[in-house]
Structure 1
Amino acid sequence: MNLGRTKGGTAAPPRQGAALAALAAAQFTVMLATSIVNVALPQIRSGAGLSDGGTTWVVNAYGLAFGALLLAGGRAGDLLGRRRVLLAGLAVFAGASLAAGLAQSAGLLIAARAVQGVGAAAVAPAALALAMNLFPPGPGRGRALGVWGAVSGAGGAGGVLLGGVLTQAWGWPWIFHSVALGAAAVLVAVATLVPRAADRGSGRFDLLGTATVTLALTCLVWALTTARAAGWTDAGVLAALLGAFVLLVLFALVERRRPDALIPPRLFSTGRVAAGNLLMALLGSVWIALFFFLPLYQQQVLGMSPLATGAGQLPLTVANMLGAVLAPRISGRIGATATVTAALLTEAAGLLWLSWMRADGSYLVDVFGPSVLIGLGLSIAFVQLTALAVDGVPRQDAGLAGGLVNTTRQVGGAIGLAALATLAGSVTTHAPTDQPPLEALTTGYQAAFTASAAVLTATALLAPLLTRSSRRARRPRCPVPPRTSASPAPPQQGRAADRAPAS
């Protein structure tokens, strides 16, 4: 994979490619920390003395802090300097990872995971904004986004593999020690390879807007993650959902009157940012649930060890990386809209195939084939939707746009996982009493994957409508003077605009 090609097809300076590699490594590390604990949760529970609720919060604490603070992290990068914020975020992330590995109590472990999420919320939007600034719109940026999609998917699937290997070889603390070492190495690489730039914006930090939306997202993510165990009718869950709604309404009212709004209206002037974020939220609602349910099926139903479960993610990872590399080429041939639609339908087909899993099945028959389809579709859709969500954004808002698209994916994932976990649990609970436990468990997983396929099919049908309206929003509204006989005829407009990459 060539990291350094510029718009004209000529080779980019080696330092540009090295800088992109360092920034992509930062994104990989963040995605790795999201999934690396999934396989090791049983060992973490026994080793750290966690209850069922405490085990859940080893995952939730990271996701809660990460999702709630992404907008604030993106805006901080725009105003304080993205390279500076990225380095600070990596330092916090590495320190918290080390503390999690050394934790001797459940409370310290969960607190360290929350601080990990804080660091990740600074890293993800700043790294994406810096990567986009390295390459102007065109083929070079499309290839850069292909790299971004490859490492994002590889981080999610690779976390399951690495978690299984480390847990079985050296024990669960090493999943956090490895992340700490990786983050420290990435920090050195970013400091060495990413050039200093005058990327510090003007304006003031919107403290009121940031506090309001952060509290709203905290209430929302907390309610969704808690609902999986407590139920949707729990008083605390309902209160948190109501609080999130009220705070979001207050945030909208506050932002209308502030000159330095956290989410300025100019961010949505092209119409493409809104379309990209909505579609990314729907993709995210299936993404995180996939890496939650698939390892559970492999371990609890198929009886695979943590190491074998992790190794079983390799086909998905390889397909994911291949799809991310091919995404810009496919988009250049058939158009960005057709590429997104085809990718979503491909992933939906893989999830539907996965929903035919059996309690007496096997990895090769029930998991391998669907994983390849899912990996290809997921990566291609991710690359194109990320490009759509940052397309045409003013340079001073690049960090915020990166934070926004990560927020919608993370919040969409929290909503999707909560809903799908509730569905799977309900189907398993209400299975016939004479049905064997593994069959009942498998039936719940089947329902979750069937619903995921339905969501992505609906998203694929929605994508052409949203991207078509966003293209109309980009057209200039100034009147076109009537053409006289002396005026040259306008050039014919074919499908060239749609064939260009979404970036």
Structure 2
Amino acid sequence: MHGRHRTPNTRWPLLLLLCVAQLMVILDISAVNVALPDLAKDLDIAKADIGWTITSYSLIFGSLLLLGGRAADLLGRRRVFLTGLGIFTAASLMTALAGDAATLFAARAGQGLGAALLSPAALSIITSTFHGPERAKALGVWGAVGGAGAAIGVLLGGALTELVDWRAIFFINLPVGLALAAGALTIVPTDPVRPQWRGLDLRGAVLATASLGSLVYALTQARSSGWTSAQTLGLTGVALAGLAAFAALELRTAKPLLRVQRLRDRGVGGGFVMMLGASAVLFGSFLLSSLYLQTVLGTGALATGLAFLPFAVAIGAGVHAGSHIITHAGVRIPLAAGFAVAAAGMLLLSGVTAHGNYAADVLPGMLVAGAGLGLILVSVSVSMLTGAAEHESGMLSGLTTTGHEIGGSLGIAILSTIAAGPTAASGIGDAFLAAAIIAGVAGAAALVILPSARTFLPKLALAPRVAIH
């Protein structure tokens, strides 16, 4: 078989393989958060520097996703996926063996590079493999991995840190990475053409990477340096100017990194805005729930991980419902409804108190918010990737994943700043309230900027045969 044909018998095993690869990337974001205290103590990393364990990964990952997605289109999806997987696995070994802070941060940056190639290539393979309503189901599974995977990561990170060692979080990627590579060589379709290096827009890539990198860095450092500091305002200004210059350059480039005109499609441009809001609420809710459980209720790493399992189940249930609803209702109404439900969950969580408990103060809000976020995650992916022509599935996959990462960085930056209130519980409660407002505004915006079911459903029925030139 050797990956040359995508038969019904190989499509779903292929989806499973790609989702496990994405899960590995997601786990190495959320699992590390739980391990930070042990990691800092072991490597003698100062409190002011420990954030670089996360930042060095997210900075490289977020800034290179557009390039990774376009590389999948031009160099071959399978080639880019396998290259990213190889880099990520090797960097995981480096991270596990790190003996000092500098080595750890460099290895985490290497993981970010691998993930920036692997993730959009995997999503592009899914987009070009599944047609019509099957695509909604496949993207539903992908969405469940993105949402519930973060919760599983907290559990895995807590379990491995408490029962083994923080290094086990990274060592575990070696056998998984090798097994995925063996599977990919068998069932991922071989690339039909030779790599088109000449078509790769390197000028656009440098500009996009520098601009997105500046934005991610400004957001991740905003809490410590101050939102109105020269660093935050200066870097944000540079990033926005760079992105404007990038858009102008791409409009004049024959084979652009990103076809900016595609953002005029309400499903793509509107979906990107929705992805920013969805990820801000998703990443923020994980951070705030973890802060409340660990700093206010004094819950241990493993118990915190277990506390997130219902959240993962609720997200999975929302995704499952969403993948069926979309095929009948389009994406506008499910996204508006999903944000409304997520806002209700955040409002429930905003009532946390210093003397609360998990069952009464956290669990109800988690279950409601999780169901809403699951519905959102599948709807936004379907919105952005429906109608993608074969030659641009990598480009739109890169854009989708960029929205996920930038939105997450924005949510964490804003909500962690609010959470640092006069007291831990009141600050976290205020931050949950802010998350509810973000979700509410996004839900209202969905009704205005997304395509109606009447215009969207015919595209979904044809996907991916709607080629837009």
TM-score tier by shorter-chain length is over 0.9
Q: Say whether 1:133 aligns with 2:128.
A: yes
Q: Which residue of 2 aligns with 1:45?
A: 40
* 1:85-484 superposed matches below 5 A: 85-136=80-131, 138-198=132-192, 204-268=199-263, 270-425=265-420, 428=421, 431=422, 440-468=423-451
Q: Structure 2 counterpart of 1:370, which letter? A: G
Following superposition, the deviation at residue 447 of structure 1 comes to 0.9
* Counterpart amino acid of residue 252 in structure 1: A
8 Å Cα contact 1:331-1:499 kept in structure 2:
no
Counterparts of 2:22 and 2:263, CA distance in 1: 25
Q: What per-residue deviation string (whole Å, max 9, x for no partner) do you get for residues 33-79 of structure 1?
A: 11111111111111111112221110111111110000010011111
* Distance change >3 Å, CA 197–CA 252, structure 1 → 2: closer
| 1:356/1:200 CA distance change after superposition, 3 Å | farther
Consecutive aligned runs of 4 or more in structure 1 exceeding 4 Å deviation:
199-203, 469-472, 496-503
Provide TM-score, normalisation by structure 1: 0.87
What one-letter code is carried by the residue in structure 2 that aligns with 1:278? V
Question: Secondary structure of the residue that 2:165 maps to in structure 1?
Answer: coil
Residue 241 to residue 361, structure 1, CA distance change in 2 (3 Å): same
Aligned-partner residue type, residue 158 of structure 2: G
Judged with a 3 Å threshold, the aligned counterparts in structure 2 of structure 1 residues 79 and 267 are, in CA distance, closer, same or farther, namely same
Change (3 A) 1:17 1:247: same
Are the aligned partners of 2:321 and 2:375 in contact in 1 as well (CA < 8 Å)? Answer: yes
The letter of the residue matching 1:174 is: A
Shift of 1:239: 2.6
Shift of 1:120: 0.4
The C-alpha deviation readout for 1:153-187, integer Å capped at 9, x for no partner, is 22111110000000000111111112343233222
Deviations 1:383-439 (A, max 9, x none): 0100101111221110010010110121111122111222222xx2xx3xxxxxxxx
Measure, in 1, the Cα distance between the counterparts of 2:137 and 2:238.
Answer: 42
- Can you list the C-alpha shifts for 1:217-257, whole angstroms capped at 9, x where unaligned? 11111111111111123333333222212322321232222
Instruction: Please name the residue that 1:19 is paired with.
Output: 14
Secondary structure in structure 2 of the residue aligned to 1:86? helix
What CA RMSD, in Å, does the superposition of the two structures yield over aligned residues? 2.2
Q: CA separation of 1:156/1:242 partners in 2, compared to 1, >3 Å: closer, same or farther?
A: same
Q: Letter of the 1:456 partner, please give it.
A: A
Amino acid at match of 1:412: G
1:59-111 CA deviation, whole Å, 9 max, x = no partner?
Answer: 11111111000001001111100111000100100111111111000111111
For 2:145 and 2:255, locate their aligned partners in 1 and report how far apart those are by CA, in whole Å.
34
Instruction: Identify unmatched segments of 5+ residues in structure 2.
Output: 1-6, 465-469
Q: Tell me: CA distance 1:340–1:233, structure 2 relative to 1, closer, same or farther (3 Å).
A: closer
CA distance in 1, matches of 2:436, 2:121: 32
Q: Distance in 1 between matches of 2:78 and 2:461?
A: 30
Amino acid at match of 2:148: A
Secondary structure of 2:103's match? helix
- Asked whether the 8 Å contact 1:201–1:396 carries over to 2, the reply is no
**Aligned residue type for 1:457:** G
Tell me the residue number matched to 1:483. Answer: none
Aligned-partner SS, 2:48: helix
Question: In structure 2, do the counterparts of structure 1 residues 200 and 145 end up closer, same or farther at CA, with 3 Å as the change threshold?
Answer: farther
TM-score w.r.t. length of structure 2: 0.93
**8 Å Cα contact 2:331/2:380 also seen in 1:** no
* 1:190-237 CA-partner distances (Å, limit 9, x unpaired): 222222242667561111111011000111111111111111233333
The 2-side partners of 1:258 and 1:167 are apart by: 49
CA shift for structure 1 position 470: 9.9
Query: Per-residue deviation at 1:13?
Result: 2.3
In the TM superposition, what whole-angstrom CA distance separates every residue of 1:474-502 from its partner, at most 9, and x where no partner exists?
A: 8xxxxxxxxxxxxxxxxxxxxx7699799
Residue-pair matches, total: 458
SS of alignment partner, residue 36 of structure 1 = helix
Of residues 463-472 and 226-235 in structure 1, the stretch that sits farther from structure 2 once superposed is 463-472
Any idea what SS the aligned residue of 1:55 has? coil
How far residue 333 of structure 1 moved from its aligned partner, in angstroms, is 4.4
Is 244-253 or 110-119 further displaced after alignment?
A: 244-253
Select the structure of larger CA radius of gyration.
Answer: 1
The answer on whether the counterparts of 1:281 and 1:413 sit within 8 Å (CA) in structure 2 is: yes
CA contact (8 A) 1:387 1:502 kept: no
Return closer, same or farther for 1:252/1:469 CA change in 2, 3 Å cut-off: farther
Paired amino acid for 2:186 = T
Is the Cα–Cα contact under 8 Å of residues 154 and 308 in structure 2 kept in the other structure? yes
- Give the whole-Å Cα distance in 2 for the aligned partners of 1:208 and 1:233: 31
Give the % identical residues.
Answer: 38
- The question of whether the paired residues in 2 share the 8 Å contact of 1:332 and 1:501 is answered with no
